[in-house]
Protein backbone atom coordinates (compact mmCIF):
# COMPACT_ATOMS: atom_id res chain seq x y z
CA UNK A 1 0.00 0.00 0.00
CA UNK A 2 1.59 3.27 -1.11
CA UNK A 3 1.28 6.34 1.06
CA UNK A 4 3.67 8.63 -0.82
CA UNK A 5 1.24 11.51 -1.10
CA UNK A 6 0.54 11.41 2.62
CA UNK A 7 4.28 11.45 3.32
CA UNK A 8 4.80 14.50 1.09
CA UNK A 9 1.80 16.25 2.63
CA UNK A 10 3.18 15.60 6.13
CA UNK A 11 6.63 16.92 5.19
CA UNK A 12 5.00 20.16 4.02
CA UNK A 13 2.68 20.41 7.03
CA UNK A 14 5.62 20.05 9.44
CA UNK A 15 7.13 23.27 8.07
CA UNK A 16 3.85 25.11 8.67
CA UNK A 17 2.32 23.78 11.89
CA UNK A 18 3.92 22.49 15.11
CA UNK A 19 4.48 18.79 14.51
CA UNK A 20 2.56 19.15 11.26
CA UNK A 21 -0.85 18.84 12.90
CA UNK A 22 -3.54 20.81 14.70
CA UNK A 23 -4.05 18.23 17.45
CA UNK A 24 -1.17 16.08 18.71
CA UNK A 25 -2.68 12.56 18.53
CA UNK A 26 -2.99 12.94 14.76
CA UNK A 27 0.80 12.89 14.39
CA UNK A 28 0.94 9.16 15.34
CA UNK A 29 3.53 9.84 18.07
CA UNK A 30 2.44 6.80 20.07
CA UNK A 31 2.87 4.34 17.19
CA UNK A 32 5.64 6.03 15.18
CA UNK A 33 5.61 6.65 11.44
CA UNK A 34 3.94 9.29 9.30
CA UNK A 35 0.27 10.15 9.70
CA UNK A 36 -2.20 9.34 6.95
CA UNK A 37 -3.67 12.41 5.25
CA UNK A 38 -7.36 12.07 4.55
CA UNK A 39 -8.92 13.16 1.30
CA UNK A 40 -12.56 12.31 2.03
CA UNK A 41 -14.84 10.04 4.02
CA UNK A 42 -18.12 8.31 3.36
CA UNK A 43 -20.14 5.96 5.55
CA UNK A 44 -17.77 3.66 7.44
CA UNK A 45 -14.76 4.48 5.26
CA UNK A 46 -11.90 6.94 5.08
CA UNK A 47 -10.01 7.53 1.83
CA UNK A 48 -6.45 8.87 1.95
CA UNK A 49 -4.60 11.09 -0.53
CA UNK A 50 -3.12 8.04 -2.24
CA UNK A 51 -6.56 6.57 -2.83
CA UNK A 52 -6.35 3.85 -0.15
CA UNK A 53 -9.57 2.96 1.64
CA UNK A 54 -9.77 2.23 5.38
CA UNK A 55 -12.58 0.94 7.56
CA UNK A 56 -12.75 3.76 10.09
CA UNK A 57 -12.93 3.03 13.83
CA UNK A 58 -11.95 6.51 14.97
CA UNK A 59 -15.00 8.34 13.67
CA UNK A 60 -13.25 11.69 14.20
CA UNK A 61 -12.48 10.47 17.79
CA UNK A 62 -16.15 9.96 18.60
CA UNK A 63 -18.55 12.31 16.82
CA UNK A 64 -19.38 10.24 13.74
CA UNK A 65 -21.76 7.72 15.32
CA UNK A 66 -23.86 7.74 12.14
CA UNK A 67 -20.81 7.31 9.93
CA UNK A 68 -19.52 9.94 7.51
CA UNK A 69 -21.79 11.99 5.29
CA UNK A 70 -25.12 10.74 6.61
CA UNK A 71 -27.67 12.09 4.09
CA UNK A 72 -29.86 13.74 6.76
CA UNK A 73 -26.88 15.54 8.29
CA UNK A 74 -25.57 16.66 4.91
CA UNK A 75 -29.01 17.95 3.96
CA UNK A 76 -29.47 19.87 7.23
CA UNK A 77 -26.04 21.50 7.02
CA UNK A 78 -26.55 22.39 3.36
CA UNK A 79 -29.89 24.01 4.12
CA UNK A 80 -28.37 25.98 7.01
CA UNK A 81 -25.39 27.04 4.89
CA UNK A 82 -27.60 28.95 2.48
CA UNK A 83 -29.27 30.85 5.32
CA UNK A 84 -26.05 32.40 6.65
CA UNK A 85 -23.15 30.84 8.52
CA UNK A 86 -23.10 32.97 11.68
CA UNK A 87 -25.21 35.80 13.09
CA UNK A 88 -24.04 36.43 16.66
CA UNK A 89 -27.72 36.61 17.58
CA UNK A 90 -30.09 33.94 18.90
CA UNK A 91 -31.84 31.44 16.64
CA UNK A 92 -34.71 28.99 17.15
CA UNK A 93 -32.44 26.14 16.09
CA UNK A 94 -30.41 26.60 19.29
CA UNK A 95 -33.57 26.03 21.34
CA UNK A 96 -34.33 22.96 19.26
CA UNK A 97 -30.92 21.44 20.00
CA UNK A 98 -31.22 22.44 23.67
CA UNK A 99 -34.63 20.77 23.84
CA UNK A 100 -33.29 17.56 22.30
CA UNK A 101 -30.44 17.47 24.84
CA UNK A 102 -32.73 18.20 27.78
CA UNK A 103 -35.23 15.54 26.74
CA UNK A 104 -32.46 12.97 26.32
CA UNK A 105 -30.23 13.52 29.36
CA UNK A 106 -32.02 12.91 32.67
CA UNK A 107 -30.08 15.41 34.80
CA UNK A 108 -30.15 18.40 32.44
CA UNK A 109 -32.86 21.06 32.83
CA UNK A 110 -30.95 23.89 31.21
CA UNK A 111 -28.00 23.80 28.86
CA UNK A 112 -25.43 26.24 27.44
CA UNK A 113 -23.92 25.54 24.01
CA UNK A 114 -20.20 26.11 23.42
CA UNK A 115 -17.77 25.14 20.64
CA UNK A 116 -15.77 22.19 21.97
CA UNK A 117 -15.53 19.65 24.73
CA UNK A 118 -12.66 21.59 26.26
CA UNK A 119 -14.82 24.69 26.50
CA UNK A 120 -17.58 22.65 28.07
CA UNK A 121 -15.40 21.22 30.87
CA UNK A 122 -13.61 24.53 31.43
CA UNK A 123 -16.96 26.28 31.84
CA UNK A 124 -18.46 23.53 34.00
CA UNK A 125 -15.61 23.70 36.51
CA UNK A 126 -15.81 27.50 36.55
CA UNK A 127 -19.52 27.18 37.30
CA UNK A 128 -18.85 24.61 40.03
CA UNK A 129 -16.36 27.00 41.62
CA UNK A 130 -18.64 30.02 41.19
CA UNK A 131 -21.64 28.17 42.54
CA UNK A 132 -19.93 26.68 45.60
CA UNK A 133 -17.50 29.50 46.31
CA UNK A 134 -14.72 26.91 46.62
CA UNK A 135 -11.53 26.35 44.59
CA UNK A 136 -10.49 22.71 44.51
CA UNK A 137 -11.47 20.35 41.67
CA UNK A 138 -11.00 16.59 42.00
CA UNK A 139 -10.10 14.64 38.86
CA UNK A 140 -8.85 11.12 38.16
CA UNK A 141 -5.63 9.94 36.55
CA UNK A 142 -6.21 8.64 33.04
CA UNK A 143 -9.37 10.69 32.51
CA UNK A 144 -9.09 13.40 29.88
CA UNK A 145 -11.23 16.52 29.93
CA UNK A 146 -9.69 18.58 27.15
CA UNK A 147 -6.75 20.96 27.39
CA UNK A 148 -8.08 23.04 30.28
CA UNK A 149 -5.17 24.32 32.43
CA UNK A 150 -6.52 23.14 35.75
CA UNK A 151 -7.29 19.69 34.32
CA UNK A 152 -3.82 19.20 32.78
CA UNK A 153 -2.48 18.18 36.12
CA UNK A 154 -0.75 15.00 37.29
CA UNK A 155 -0.99 13.40 40.70
CA UNK A 156 1.42 14.77 43.26
CA UNK A 157 3.91 12.56 45.08
CA UNK A 158 1.33 10.88 47.28
CA UNK A 159 -2.09 10.28 45.78
CA UNK A 160 -3.90 12.54 48.20
CA UNK A 161 -1.72 15.60 47.69
CA UNK A 162 -2.64 18.46 45.44
CA UNK A 163 -1.51 18.20 41.85
CA UNK A 164 1.58 19.14 39.83
CA UNK A 165 1.48 20.64 36.31
CA UNK A 166 1.29 18.11 33.50
CA UNK A 167 2.38 20.54 30.78
CA UNK A 168 4.80 23.44 30.62
CA UNK A 169 2.68 26.57 30.79
CA UNK A 170 0.33 25.29 33.47
CA UNK A 171 1.26 27.18 36.61
CA UNK A 172 1.87 25.59 40.00
CA UNK A 173 -0.81 27.92 41.33
CA UNK A 174 -3.36 26.42 38.96
CA UNK A 175 -2.21 22.88 39.65
CA UNK A 176 -2.53 23.43 43.41
CA UNK A 177 -6.30 23.74 43.00
CA UNK A 178 -6.59 20.30 41.41
CA UNK A 179 -6.55 17.05 43.32
CA UNK A 180 -5.72 13.99 41.19
CA UNK A 181 -6.92 10.62 42.46
CA UNK A 182 -7.07 7.04 41.21
CA UNK A 183 -10.07 6.01 39.13
CA UNK A 184 -12.19 3.28 40.68
CA UNK A 185 -10.64 3.97 44.10
CA UNK A 186 -13.57 4.69 46.43
CA UNK A 187 -11.34 4.61 49.52
CA UNK A 188 -9.03 7.23 48.02
CA UNK A 189 -12.00 9.47 47.32
CA UNK A 190 -13.22 9.08 50.91
CA UNK A 191 -9.80 10.01 52.24
CA UNK A 192 -9.59 13.07 49.99
CA UNK A 193 -12.98 14.34 51.14
CA UNK A 194 -12.07 13.75 54.78
CA UNK A 195 -8.99 15.87 54.34
CA UNK A 196 -10.13 18.56 51.85
CA UNK A 197 -13.94 18.24 51.85
CA UNK A 198 -14.66 21.87 52.72
CA UNK A 199 -12.47 23.16 49.87
CA UNK A 200 -13.79 20.89 47.09
CA UNK A 201 -15.98 22.64 44.52
CA UNK A 202 -16.51 19.64 42.30
CA UNK A 203 -15.49 16.17 41.21
CA UNK A 204 -15.14 15.68 37.45
CA UNK A 205 -14.94 12.24 35.87
CA UNK A 206 -15.63 10.25 32.75
CA UNK A 207 -18.52 8.01 33.87
CA UNK A 208 -17.21 5.43 31.42
CA UNK A 209 -13.60 6.25 30.58
CA UNK A 210 -12.60 6.38 26.94
CA UNK A 211 -9.36 8.29 27.27
CA UNK A 212 -7.11 5.60 28.78
CA UNK A 213 -8.83 3.08 26.58
CA UNK A 214 -12.27 1.95 27.66
CA UNK A 215 -12.55 1.48 31.44
CA UNK A 216 -15.82 1.08 33.28
CA UNK A 217 -16.49 2.48 36.74
CA UNK A 218 -17.20 0.17 39.65
CA UNK A 219 -20.56 0.66 41.31
CA UNK A 220 -18.85 1.36 44.60
CA UNK A 221 -16.70 4.10 43.07
CA UNK A 222 -19.56 5.90 41.35
CA UNK A 223 -21.78 5.69 44.36
CA UNK A 224 -18.98 7.08 46.58
CA UNK A 225 -18.55 10.00 44.16
CA UNK A 226 -22.29 10.71 44.28
CA UNK A 227 -22.64 10.35 48.04
CA UNK A 228 -19.52 12.28 49.05
CA UNK A 229 -20.15 15.26 46.75
CA UNK A 230 -23.69 15.53 48.11
CA UNK A 231 -22.57 15.16 51.70
CA UNK A 232 -19.87 17.84 51.40
CA UNK A 233 -21.82 20.28 49.19
CA UNK A 234 -19.60 19.79 46.11
CA UNK A 235 -20.89 19.26 42.56
CA UNK A 236 -20.53 15.97 40.72
CA UNK A 237 -19.62 16.64 37.08
CA UNK A 238 -19.97 13.85 34.53
CA UNK A 239 -17.79 14.53 31.52
CA UNK A 240 -19.93 12.90 28.85
CA UNK A 241 -18.19 14.59 25.92
CA UNK A 242 -17.40 11.10 24.61
CA UNK A 243 -20.13 8.96 26.21
CA UNK A 244 -23.08 11.33 25.68
CA UNK A 245 -25.38 9.90 22.98
CA UNK A 246 -22.73 7.19 22.48
CA UNK A 247 -23.20 4.49 25.12
CA UNK A 248 -26.93 5.28 25.22
CA UNK A 249 -29.13 8.07 23.89
CA UNK A 250 -29.29 9.48 27.45
CA UNK A 251 -25.54 9.04 27.97
CA UNK A 252 -23.67 6.98 30.56
CA UNK A 253 -25.79 8.46 33.34
CA UNK A 254 -28.92 6.84 31.94
CA UNK A 255 -27.07 3.55 31.51
CA UNK A 256 -25.53 3.58 35.00
CA UNK A 257 -28.46 5.13 36.85
CA UNK A 258 -26.38 7.79 38.59
CA UNK A 259 -27.45 11.42 38.37
CA UNK A 260 -24.68 14.03 38.29
CA UNK A 261 -25.13 17.72 39.07
CA UNK A 262 -23.49 18.95 35.88
CA UNK A 263 -22.91 17.19 32.58
CA UNK A 264 -20.54 18.16 29.78
CA UNK A 265 -21.21 17.14 26.21
CA UNK A 266 -19.47 17.48 22.85
CA UNK A 267 -18.49 15.24 19.93
CA UNK A 268 -21.81 13.58 18.89
CA UNK A 269 -24.00 16.61 19.69
CA UNK A 270 -22.19 18.48 16.93
CA UNK A 271 -22.63 15.68 14.39
CA UNK A 272 -19.06 16.26 13.16
CA UNK A 273 -19.09 20.05 13.49
CA UNK A 274 -17.72 21.94 16.51
CA UNK A 275 -20.26 21.91 19.36
CA UNK A 276 -19.90 21.38 23.08
CA UNK A 277 -22.41 21.90 25.88
CA UNK A 278 -22.76 21.89 29.62
CA UNK A 279 -25.96 21.59 31.55
CA UNK A 280 -27.67 20.68 34.79
CA UNK A 281 -30.52 21.74 37.05
CA UNK A 282 -31.90 25.24 36.37
CA UNK A 283 -31.02 26.26 39.94
CA UNK A 284 -27.32 25.73 39.15
CA UNK A 285 -27.28 26.73 35.45
CA UNK A 286 -28.99 30.04 36.23
CA UNK A 287 -25.74 31.11 37.89
CA UNK A 288 -24.27 31.49 34.39
CA UNK A 289 -24.22 35.00 32.84
CA UNK A 290 -26.53 36.73 31.93
CA UNK A 291 -29.00 34.90 34.24
CA UNK A 292 -26.31 34.87 36.95
CA UNK A 293 -22.78 36.09 37.53
CA UNK A 294 -20.45 33.31 36.30
CA UNK A 295 -18.92 34.63 33.07
CA UNK A 296 -18.91 32.50 29.95
CA UNK A 297 -19.37 33.63 26.33
CA UNK A 298 -18.59 32.68 22.72
CA UNK A 299 -18.63 34.52 19.37
CA UNK A 300 -19.51 31.35 17.44
CA UNK A 301 -21.43 29.51 20.19
CA UNK A 302 -24.66 28.01 18.87
CA UNK A 303 -23.33 28.40 15.32
CA UNK A 304 -26.12 27.68 12.82
CA UNK A 305 -24.20 25.10 10.75
CA UNK A 306 -22.95 23.21 13.79
CA UNK A 307 -26.34 23.28 15.47
CA UNK A 308 -28.02 22.01 12.27
CA UNK A 309 -25.61 19.05 12.16
CA UNK A 310 -26.25 18.36 15.85
CA UNK A 311 -30.04 18.47 15.54
CA UNK A 312 -30.02 16.19 12.49
CA UNK A 313 -27.72 13.69 14.23
CA UNK A 314 -29.70 13.56 17.47
CA UNK A 315 -33.00 13.16 15.62
CA UNK A 316 -31.70 10.18 13.66
CA UNK A 317 -30.41 8.64 16.90
CA UNK A 318 -33.73 9.30 18.67
CA UNK A 319 -36.00 8.13 15.85
CA UNK A 320 -34.02 5.21 14.48
CA UNK A 321 -32.53 3.92 17.75
CA UNK A 322 -29.37 2.33 16.30
CA UNK A 323 -28.13 1.41 19.79
CA UNK A 324 -29.16 -2.26 19.86
CA UNK A 325 -27.52 -2.78 16.46
CA UNK A 326 -24.37 -0.89 17.55
CA UNK A 327 -24.24 -3.13 20.61
CA UNK A 328 -24.51 -6.26 18.48
CA UNK A 329 -21.82 -5.10 16.04
CA UNK A 330 -19.49 -4.21 18.91
CA UNK A 331 -20.14 -7.59 20.55
CA UNK A 332 -19.22 -9.31 17.30
CA UNK A 333 -16.02 -7.28 17.07
CA UNK A 334 -15.06 -7.88 20.71
CA UNK A 335 -15.66 -11.62 20.39
CA UNK A 336 -13.69 -11.80 17.15
CA UNK A 337 -10.73 -9.80 18.46
CA UNK A 338 -10.55 -11.85 21.67
CA UNK A 339 -10.60 -15.09 19.71
CA UNK A 340 -7.96 -13.80 17.27
CA UNK A 341 -5.71 -12.79 20.17
CA UNK A 342 -6.16 -16.19 21.85
CA UNK A 343 -5.34 -17.98 18.59
CA UNK A 344 -2.20 -15.88 18.19
CA UNK A 345 -1.33 -16.53 21.84
CA UNK A 346 -1.28 -12.79 22.57
CA UNK A 347 -2.23 -11.80 26.13
CA UNK A 348 -4.99 -9.24 26.15
CA UNK A 349 -8.00 -7.93 28.01
CA UNK A 350 -10.91 -6.01 26.58
CA UNK A 351 -12.49 -2.78 27.83
CA UNK A 352 -15.94 -2.48 26.36
CA UNK A 353 -19.05 -0.39 26.80
CA UNK A 354 -21.64 -0.49 24.01
CA UNK A 355 -20.04 0.90 20.83
CA UNK A 356 -16.74 1.92 22.53
CA UNK A 357 -14.02 -0.65 23.03
CA UNK A 358 -10.31 -1.21 23.53
CA UNK A 359 -8.16 -4.28 23.09
CA UNK A 360 -5.56 -3.88 25.84
CA UNK A 361 -2.30 -5.76 25.39
CA UNK A 362 -2.23 -6.76 29.03
CA UNK A 363 -3.14 -10.03 30.70
CA UNK A 364 -4.69 -8.16 33.64
CA UNK A 365 -7.99 -6.32 33.54
CA UNK A 366 -7.49 -2.55 33.17
CA UNK A 367 -9.32 -0.61 35.87
CA UNK A 368 -7.27 2.57 36.30
CA UNK A 369 -4.24 4.38 34.91
CA UNK A 370 -1.78 2.19 36.85
CA UNK A 371 -3.06 -0.98 35.23
CA UNK A 372 -3.49 0.72 31.83
CA UNK A 373 0.09 1.91 31.80
CA UNK A 374 1.36 -1.68 32.09
CA UNK A 375 0.08 -2.50 28.59
CA UNK A 376 2.51 -3.56 25.87
CA UNK A 377 2.45 -0.37 23.78
CA UNK A 378 5.21 -1.60 21.45
CA UNK A 379 3.05 -4.52 20.46
CA UNK A 380 0.14 -2.13 20.02
CA UNK A 381 2.19 -0.05 17.55
CA UNK A 382 2.96 -3.16 15.46
CA UNK A 383 -0.69 -4.20 15.59
CA UNK A 384 -1.80 -0.71 14.52
CA UNK A 385 0.45 -0.65 11.44
CA UNK A 386 -0.48 -4.23 10.59
CA UNK A 387 -4.10 -3.11 10.49
CA UNK A 388 -3.36 0.04 8.46
CA UNK A 389 -1.62 -2.13 5.86
CA UNK A 390 -4.82 -4.17 5.66
CA UNK A 391 -7.14 -1.18 5.28
CA UNK A 392 -8.31 -0.76 8.89
CA UNK A 393 -7.92 2.56 10.72
CA UNK A 394 -7.83 2.02 14.48
CA UNK A 395 -6.82 4.55 17.14
CA UNK A 396 -3.10 5.37 16.92
CA UNK A 397 -2.60 4.72 20.64
CA UNK A 398 -3.26 1.86 23.04
CA UNK A 399 -5.00 4.34 25.32
CA UNK A 400 -7.90 5.33 23.09
CA UNK A 401 -11.30 3.86 22.37
CA UNK A 402 -12.32 2.56 19.01
CA UNK A 403 -15.85 3.40 17.93
CA UNK A 404 -18.34 1.36 15.98
CA UNK A 405 -20.75 3.47 13.91
CA UNK A 406 -24.17 2.84 12.46
CA UNK A 407 -22.54 2.81 9.01
CA UNK A 408 -20.48 -0.31 9.81
CA UNK A 409 -21.83 -3.61 8.49
CA UNK A 410 -21.27 -7.14 9.72
CA UNK A 411 -19.06 -7.61 6.67
CA UNK A 412 -16.90 -4.65 7.80
CA UNK A 413 -16.61 -6.17 11.26
CA UNK A 414 -15.68 -9.58 9.88
CA UNK A 415 -13.08 -8.07 7.53
CA UNK A 416 -11.66 -6.20 10.53
CA UNK A 417 -11.43 -9.37 12.61
CA UNK A 418 -9.62 -11.15 9.77
CA UNK A 419 -7.20 -8.21 9.41
CA UNK A 420 -6.62 -8.24 13.17
CA UNK A 421 -6.00 -11.99 13.09
CA UNK A 422 -3.21 -11.49 10.53
CA UNK A 423 -1.81 -8.40 12.26
CA UNK A 424 -1.76 -10.18 15.64
CA UNK A 425 0.04 -13.17 14.17
CA UNK A 426 2.70 -10.77 12.87
CA UNK A 427 3.12 -9.06 16.26
CA UNK A 428 3.46 -12.48 17.88
CA UNK A 429 6.14 -13.50 15.39
CA UNK A 430 8.13 -10.24 15.77
Ligand X SMILES: *Cc1c(COP(=O)(O)O)cnc(C)c1O
Positions that interact with ligand X (CB under 6 A): 116-118, 121, 144-146, 206, 210-211, 239, 241-242, 266, 276
In degrees rounded to 5, what are phi and psi of residue 137?
A: -115, 135
- Crossing angle of helices 304-320 and 92-104, in 10° steps, is 40
Q: How far is the CB of 209 from ligand X (least distance, A)?
A: 8
In angstroms, the CA 252 to CA 245 distance is 8
- Write down the catalytic residue from 185, 239, 261, 376: 239
Q: Determine how many CB atoms are found less than 10 A away from the CB of residue 119.
A: 24
In angstroms, the CA 189 to CA 167 distance is 25
Q: How far is the CB of 374 from ligand X (least distance, A)?
A: 22
- Write down the catalytic residue from 110, 139, 216, 267: 267
Chain residue at closest Cβ approach to ligand X: 117
Query: Are residues 276 and 117 in contact, defined by beta-carbon separation less than 8 angstroms?
Result: yes
Tell me if residue 383 falls in helix, strand or coil. Answer: helix
In angstroms, the CA 396 to CA 30 distance is 7
Taking CB atoms within 8 Å and a gap of at least 24, the contacts of 188-197 are: 188/159, 188/160, 189/138, 189/221, 189/224, 189/225, 189/228, 190/224, 190/228, 191/160, 192/138, 192/160, 193/228, 193/231, 193/232, 195/160, 196/136, 197/228, 197/231, 197/232, 197/234
Q: How far is the CB of 363 from ligand X (least distance, A)?
A: 27
239 as an active site residue: the answer is yes
- Return the sign of the alpha-carbon dihedral for residues 128, 130, 133, 136: positive
In degrees rounded to 5, what are phi and psi of residue 406?
A: -70, -15
In degrees rounded to 5, what are phi and psi of residue 412?
A: -60, -45
Q: Which of 372, 380, 416, 367 has the alpha carbon at shortest distance from 57? A: 416
> Could you tell me which residues come within 8 angstroms of residue 428 by beta carbon, excluding any fewer than 6 positions away?
344, 345, 346
Q: How far is the CB of 63 from ligand X (least distance, A)?
A: 9
Q: How far is the CB of 355 from ligand X (least distance, A)?
A: 14
- Write down the catalytic residue from 144, 183, 249, 278: 144
Q: How far is the CB of 60 from ligand X (least distance, A)?
A: 10
Nearer to ligand X, 239 or 412 (CB): 239
In angstroms, the CA 180 to CA 193 distance is 12
In angstroms, the CA 232 to CA 128 distance is 13
177 alpha-carbon distance from chain centroid = 24
Q: How far is the CB of 239 from ligand X (least distance, A)?
A: 4
Catalytic residue annotation = 144, 239, 267
Amino acid sequence: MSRTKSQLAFARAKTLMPGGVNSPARAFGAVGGDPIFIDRAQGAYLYDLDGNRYIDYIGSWGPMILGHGHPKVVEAVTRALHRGTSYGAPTEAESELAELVIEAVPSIEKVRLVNSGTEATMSAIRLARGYTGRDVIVKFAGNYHGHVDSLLVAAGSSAATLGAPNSPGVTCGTARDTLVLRYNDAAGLHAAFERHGQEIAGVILEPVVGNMGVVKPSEEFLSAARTLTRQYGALLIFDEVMTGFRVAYGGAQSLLGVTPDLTTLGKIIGGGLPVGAYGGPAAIMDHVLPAGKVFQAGTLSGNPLAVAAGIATLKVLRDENPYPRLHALAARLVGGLEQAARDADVACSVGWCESMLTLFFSSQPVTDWDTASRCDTKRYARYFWGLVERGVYMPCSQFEALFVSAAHTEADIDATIEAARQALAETAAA
